[in-house]
Structure formats: C-alpha cells, structure tokens
Amino acid sequence: MKSHYRAIVIGGGVVGASVLYHLAKFGWRDVALVEREVLTAGSSWHAAGGFHALNADPNIAALQSYTIDLLSEVEKESGQNIGMHMTGGISVASAPERWEWLQASYRVFQTMGIDDVRLIGVDEIKHRCPILNTDGILGGLYAEREGHIDPSGVVHAYARAAKQRGADIIEHNRVLELNRRADGSWDVVTEKGTIVAEHVVNAGGLWAKQVGRMAGIDLPVSPMEHHYLITEALPEIQALDRELAMIVDLEGFTYMRQEQKGLLLGIYETNHKHWNMDGAPWNYGIELIQEDTDRIADELALGFSRYPCLETAGIKRWVNGAFTFSPDGNPLVGPVRGVPNYWVACGVMAGFLQGGGVGKSLAEWMIHGEPEADVYGMDIARYGDFASNREYIKQTTGQFYSRRFIMSYPNEQLPAGRPLKTAGAHDAMDAAGARWGNSWGMEMPLYFAPKGFVETPALKRSNAFDIVGDECRKVREGVGLLDITAFSRYEIAGPQARTWLDRVLACALPKPGRAKLAPMLGENGKLKGDLTVFNWGDGTWWIMGSYYLRQWHMRWFEKHLSEGVTVRDISDAVVGFSLAGPNSRKLLERLTHQDVSHEAFGLLACGTLDVGLARAKVGRLSVVGELGYEIHCQANEHATLRRALLSAGKDLGVTEYGFGAVNSLRLEKSFGIWSREFTQDYTPAETGMDRWIAFDKGDFVGRDVALREQAVGAERMLATLEIDAVDADASGYEPIWNKGSLAGFITSGGYGHTVGKSLAMALVDRDSCAIGTALTTHIVGVERGARVIAASPYDPKGIKMRA
C-alpha cells in the first residue's frame, strides 16, 4: 500500500472493481481499491448474476448494452473465467396492457439501434423454455444478448484487468475516516494507515451510507432484502439438449434462469422488507439473511404455477441477501455538490448489468470532466437534501421494490414520499379540484377536475383527456392561471455578475428591464440548460429553469464560480403564477397602477410591479404561445396573489389550469422542453437552440466546439410532426421511419387540443425533415402515418404573444 494515490475507490464489489478498471483503462494508473474484507463481500457474492436488456430509461439501457459487450472483453483481457451463459431472455406478458407495453418497448429498442430484440409468440416462448406453463401468456419480448454470469468471476475479472493496467487492490483494510485536506485532497484513514488521495470514490454498496457520512453526506439509499431459491437437479432440465432461456414473468413477480441442471427462481415480492437502513454492520460479509418464506408465499405460488416442475423439486439453497436501492431504483453516480473530489457510485441495484456502464461513465467524468453519455437518470444531482430524510427513503425505496414488476403508466401518480413540498395556495387549489403531479418533491397541478373524478392509468389517452382539452381552450380564449412554484430561480449578484453570466451563458445578455432565452453549454459544446435570464436593472439578475434540475444546475454554477459574483438558489423563497391568454393584460391592469401596455411593457420586458398587495417581479413571457406574464412573489404571498388574480378575472374568463394543458399548448407552438427536446446529449445546432447563441460576443463555455459543429452542420434536426393517431399519442423515444429505414425518433408528443391534431416533436435525419415529408412511427406499438409540418402549427407568426 502506497501513501499517495490519485484516486481511492472504497468498496470491492462489482461496481468498485469496474470503476477501478475504467480509471486504469482510461489512463489513471495511480489508483487503488480499498476493501474492508475481500472482493465480492457484501452484495456481489450472492447476486443472481442475470443480465437483461430492458430499462425504462433508454440512456441507461444503452449503458446496460455497453456492460454486456464489455463482459466478454474483460474476461479475455484478464484471463479470468466469468462463467458467461448467453442464453437469451424473454419478458413474458399475460395482461393485455403489458403486452401493449412490451410492443411499445420493442420500438424503443429499435430507436436505440438495438436489433437483437424482437417480439415473439407463445409457441416460440414454449420452444425456448419447455418447462414454462404458458397458460394466459399473450406474448413476449425476446433479447438475444441476455443471460447470466458467475458474479465472483466478474468481480475478479475487473480487478485482475485493473491490476494488469497498474492499479492496486488492498483487501482486509477498512476505511475508518475521510478527512478533507486544505488543497481539496483527502486523508483516507484506514486500519493499515492513512492514504492521501486526490479523489475518493464511494462504491461502498451496503456500506455506502456510512462512507457517505464520513464526508458529511447522507445518501438516499437503503438496503433491502431479496430472495431467490436454487433447486436440485430436475429431470425436465436434464433431458434437454440446450440451456433454457431466462424468463421474466412480469405478472408473476419472478425471474428464472437455469442453474446447472436445476432452476434459480428469484422474487420481487410486493411485501418488501428493509434491512439495516443505516447501512450493514461492519462485520457483515459473506453471509445471508434467514429466509422468510411466509412473506413471499403469494409470489412463490405464482412462480410454482408458472413452472410446474417446481412442485416436486428439492430446494438446494435459499438465498435472502441484501441489495442497496435508491428511491427510483437507478444508481447514484457522479460528483457530490459542495464536496470537491468526492464521487459516488452506489445504489447500483443491478450491479452486474449496470456496473460496466457506471464504471465507464464515472471514470470519464473524473478524468475528462463529463461522461460521454447523458447519465442524468443516474446522476446523484437528481436528488436534493429532501431525499435524505429517513421516512422519504423508506417509502420511496419500498415503493420501487414492491413495484419492480408492476405495470407503470405514463399518467400514473405514485404516493410514496408525498406530499412533501407544497405551495402556499396548495390547499386552496386542492379544494378547487387540482390533481397533482410531483417535481423534485414539489406538488404541481396537472389539471383541475370535478369532485370525485379519478383518472384511470393508461398507456393511451386517459379519461382526463377532455378535461385537459377544456383547459386548453379556456386559456386560448380567455385567461389561464398557472401555478409556477415548480420553476427554479437563481439570483446572481456582485460586481462581476455580468462578466460571469457572459461566460456561463451562450446568449447575448439582455439590457436592463429585459429577459432573454439563454442556452447554456458544456465544455463539449452540448446543451447544459435551456434557461431564461432576467436583468432586473438594479444589479441583480435571475436565471430560471426546470425545478427538478436545481441541484444539477447549482453544481454546475458552483463549478464555474469566480470572484466577485454570488449565485443563490431562491426557488424555495420565491414562487408565483403565470397568466396566459388574450385577456391577460386586462386582468393584470386591474391589479397594478403601473403601465403594462405593449408599448411600456412589451414581449420579454421585466420589472418590479405592484400586483394587488404583492410587490412582485414580473416578466412578460409565455410558455404556451399567448400574451402572458410570469408574476413572482414571496412564498408567503402565494395564496394572497392567487385570490387577487382569480377575483379580478371573474368576468374575463379566468381559469386555473395545469401542466397537462401546458404540454398540449407548448407542442402547438413547437416549444421544446428540457429532458425531451433538449438534453446534455444534444447539440445547439440539431435542436435549433443555436439561433439564441451569440457566437460573436467573445469566449463562453462550449463556444469553440459549438461553432465548429455549426460550420459543419447537424446531421439531424428537430422537427414538428403531425401523427395519424387514433386513441393514443406519442410520448417519447418512438422510432421514426422513412420508407422502412430508421430516420430518427420522437422526443415528446401529445394532442394539440386547439388545432385538433396529434402532434410530436422529433429529432430527424436532415434528409427526412423537409416540410411535407411522409414518415411513419409506432404509437404504443401500432404503426401510424406521420408527416413533417411547419413549426408552430398554432399562430405560426407569434402574433398573439406580441399583442
């Protein structure tokens, strides 16, 4: 053990070993892994070892695909046998909605370019798994590159390959303390002495909680129990001349694979159980938890009915082991805001499936400053401090585990950890019929419904379709009132505020009393934000963006912070409402003595106005393409402001509406949103955001790379589509076909209630994006015609916004 390393990885499971391997592979040889016992001790040694293709997040699914490819490469490089069995895998559906979901998922794989996944019928399912009782099964999704490995073999393969590249493995050496040094490096205090490390990686697995607290961080993770059983040899399998395909029975809560000449049956029980929520005991290692068959009896019964040969099988071994889960089941990866040179790679529930992608992404992040892929879905910054609350962790991790195989719907609202954050007028809006969604812990209205209305979860248009449509029409015809508490707001001040903003944002900064759309780029020239910047004229500026990106954006701002400027997240202190519609100005005029005429307060103007009793920050903006205003007040004025706006607008047709209508209205204007049309994986030129970039203003983050791309031209472009939909609309990641060839994919979609068309926005190859081009897509798995139309099918010249 040396006294100094560039990076120390804490934890010798599959994730820690993968991180170490990738750091060494990408050029950092002066790195070491420190393990309190031996490699695999914790969760890795008892993992079932299966790897699957499906994931709800296409970016994470792509990293899973990377991991599957990597496994055989690492086996060859290390010389360590990993026991890979590429059996193929089938996810089977025995409910009509699930079969529709699998058909839609198949099309997402096509979007991703993964061509070894296909839909199969019952006969082929039975052929690939003769012991399966196919009663009630409607079909399945078959993936060629699914199977299972030897968990210990994989960990040792990563570790051996890392050692061959110069990395060190230090076993039987528990980390006791982590202490920050003045230069930003770390004293890693271990049982065998203190190591100085420039970077520390928490890959602690079951002990990630404790390793986080050593650095003052309370990570939103919890271990949970998970069962599987292994049978004795079965005559039905001994008689086969091939290995069974792996099966995931989505309605039966089980997964199955062959284990030698027996079966391994794993269960995601609905009656979940947490285990040592503050982290495993330090002396816990190659051990298991006593099985609890009574708790999993219902799921066992389903499994035994699906595989009748289990009825007479001998059980060779029960495994009840702990795995660590995050609130949404995805890993926690990346740098921790406010703790320089401390990185996390934990909560990786599917370590052998996702470990390779996690290791690659984190190593790229540490060495190059950004991962190659968009990994927001597993970025630690997707959570704030609110997620560290023990009860929040208990509810959300339990909900995820119990719903692991339960059908989820795009319009479904789940209850765990809610309500947590509510606006001042929440109770009043609730009484008015608000139905709530959730953004980063904040309750936000989706629509307003009559008393007793309950929305039915659906893959297709739900029973709230007409309610949302009515809200859209009322906004277009009168004036709509939208709660915008769930917007992020950052205050920038100080003598160097303008200079800093000019460096961080890619747009030309607005003059005093003006606002402007503000792209923000990463060093790689790709998007880092679609923001709005306000110059209030008194030396202070605001940046506004997506509420759920608060931790992510603050981490970015602080990374680039310089002397003479302060950045404050004021999102909890400042809230508000927006007005939109032709009667917006009339309503605002009734509540202020100041001139808000078009001449005095035109489009993108901003200033301080008296609005009723509130001294408000007001900007003339609209996210729905109408004459509109965003009115920002103090959090404790929210309810008062709502009452004033509703009272003053009674005869003007004022109506409260939610973000369901916003989605419809913004699609009619071809307005993109973050995580759909704009992500950190897309460039300004292909999304059209380059029209807001001031390339001639001087240097700014990402300028040179974006300028080179603009000179070459983007290979794909953001386009607006009209879909020949019947009872369902696009939601995102559906493939776009041009005469049978993949030509792009849908970024988001919905129904345009004003124009009466099913609309979508899509990233389409340059030679397929001309207006009028005939295309096809698949909506909930069904082929539908589509065509490229001109942007902004509603009010294409923007006359209403400029009224």
Contact yes or no for 423/485 (Cβ under 8 A):
yes
Per-residue pLDDT band for 446 (boundaries 50, 70, 90) equals very high
Residue 658 one-letter amino acid? G
Helix, strand, or coil here: 392? helix
pLDDT > 80? residue 8: yes
The answer to whether the CB of 333 falls within 8 A of the CB of 19 is no
How many CB atoms within 10 Å of residue 711?
Answer: 8
Give the C-alpha distances (Å, rounded to integers) separating 190 from 16, 23, 185: 17, 22, 16
650 to 481, 499, 591, 646, 647: CA distances (angstroms)? 12, 45, 13, 6, 6
CA atoms 686, 691, 693, 696: torsion sign: positive
- For the segment 172-185, the average pLDDT, to the nearest whole number, is 97
User: What is the structure's pLDDT at 46?
Assistant: 96
**The CATH number of the domain where 21 resides is what?**
3.50.50.60
CA angle 334, 338, 342 (to 5 degrees): 45
- pLDDT number for residue 61: 85
Q: Does 573 score more than 80 pLDDT? A: yes
Domain membership flag for residue 736:
no
What's the rounded mean pLDDT across residues 440-451?
Answer: 98
Within-domain flag for 393: no
For residue 774, count CB atoms less than 10 angstroms from its CB and return exposed for 0-12, middle for 13-18, buried for 19 or more: exposed
At residue 562, the pLDDT reads 96
Structure tokens at 723: 């879909």
The pLDDT assigned to 1 comes to: 86
What does the pLDDT average to over 45-53? 91
Q: Structure tokens of 562? A: 């310089």
- Main-chain dihedrals φ then ψ at residue 347, nearest 5 degrees: 65, 25
Indicate if the pLDDT at residue 53 is higher than 80.
Answer: no
Closest CA to 43 of 283, 266, 260, 223: 223
pLDDT, average across residues 159-175: 98
Among 215, 205, 165, smallest CA distance to 32 is for 165
pLDDT of the residue at 52 = 84
The angle subtended at Cα 244 by Cα 129 and Cα 269, nearest 5°, is: 80
- Count CB atoms within 10 A of the CB of residue 32: 22
* Per-position DSSP letters for 279-327, written without gaps between them: ---TT--S--PPP-TTTTHHHHHHHHHHSGGGGG--EEEEEEEEEEE-T
pLDDT-based confidence at residue 60 (cuts at 50, 70, 90): confident
Residue 173 forms part of a structural domain: yes
Residues across the chain: 803
Tens-digit pLDDT profile for residues 356-415: 999 999 999 999 999 999 999 999 999 999 999 999 999 999 999 999 999 999 999 999
Q: Which two tokens stand for residue 240?
A: 């086969």
The reported pLDDT for the residue numbered 59 is 83
453-461 long-range contacts (CB < 8 A, ≥24 apart) are 455/411, 457/409, 457/411, 457/412, 458/409, 458/411, 459/97, 459/100, 459/101, 459/104, 459/409, 459/410, 459/728, 459/780, 460/727, 460/728, 460/780, 461/727, 461/728, 461/729, 461/751
Asked, for residue 69, whether it belongs to a domain, the answer is yes
Q: Rounded mean pLDDT of the chain?
A: 97
Nearest to 213 by CA among 438, 388, 443: 388
pLDDT level of residue 88 (50, 70, 90 thresholds): very high
Whether 132 is in a domain gets the answer yes
CA distance 212 to 197: 16
Is residue 254 within 8 A of residue 283, CB to CB? The reply is no
**How does DSSP classify residue 216?**
T
- Compute CA 272 distance to the chain's CA centroid, rounded to the nearest angstrom: 24
pLDDT at 445: 98
Alpha-carbon distance 343 to 757, whole Å? Answer: 47
Amino acid at 377: G
pLDDT tens digits, residue range 685-712? 999 999 999 999 999 999 999 999 989 9
236 part of a folded domain: yes
Which tokens sit at 87?
A: 């059996």
Q: What's the whole-model pTM score?
A: 0.96
Q: At what angle do helices 58-78 and 351-368 cross, to 10 degrees?
A: 90
Give SS3 for 677. coil
Q: Domains in the chain: how many in total? A: 1
Please report, rounded to a whole number, the percentage of residues in the chain having pLDDT higher than 90. 97
Residue 555 forms part of a structural domain: no
Going by pLDDT thresholds of 50, 70 and 90, the confidence category of residue 291 is: very high
Tens-digit pLDDT profile for residues 188-219: 999 999 999 999 999 999 999 999 999 999 99
- Please tell me whether residue 86 adopts helix, strand or coil conformation: coil
| Nearest of 116, 149, 150, 146 to residue 129 by alpha carbon | 146
Vertex 650, ends 644 and 656: CA angle to 5°? 75
Measured CA to CA, the distance from residue 245 to residue 89 in angstroms comes to 5
Q: Measure CA 609 to chain center.
A: 37
Residues ≥6 apart with Cβ < 8 Å to 761: 667, 670, 672, 676, 677, 718, 719, 720, 721, 746, 747, 748, 749
**pLDDT at residue 115, as a whole number:** 86
**DSSP assignment, residue 37?**
S
Residue 57's pLDDT is 79
Question: Which value, in Å, is the radius of gyration of the alpha carbons in the chain?
Answer: 27
Residue span of the structural domain in which 75 resides = 4-333+341-365
Q: Classify residue 739 by burial, with Cβ atoms within 10 Å: 0-12, 13-18, 19+.
A: exposed
What would the pLDDT profile of 553-571 be if each residue is shown by its tens digit? 999 999 999 999 999 999 9
CB 178 within 8 A of CB 200: yes
Return d(Cα 26, Cα 8) in angstroms, integer: 16
pLDDT in tens, 733-744: 999 999 999 999
* pLDDT tens, residue by residue, 305-324: 999 999 999 999 999 999 99
Is the dihedral angle over the CA atoms 584, 590, 592, 593 positive or is it negative?
positive
Residue 146 domain-assigned? Answer: yes
DSSP character string of 687-725: HTGGGG--GGG---TTHHHHHHHHHH--SEEEEEEEE--
Strands (E), 484-637: 487-493, 514-521, 527-535, 541-546, 566-569, 574-580, 606-611, 614-619, 628-634
Q: Note the pLDDT of residue 424.
A: 98
Structure tokens, 724:
């020949």
Q: Give the model's pLDDT for residue 62.
A: 85
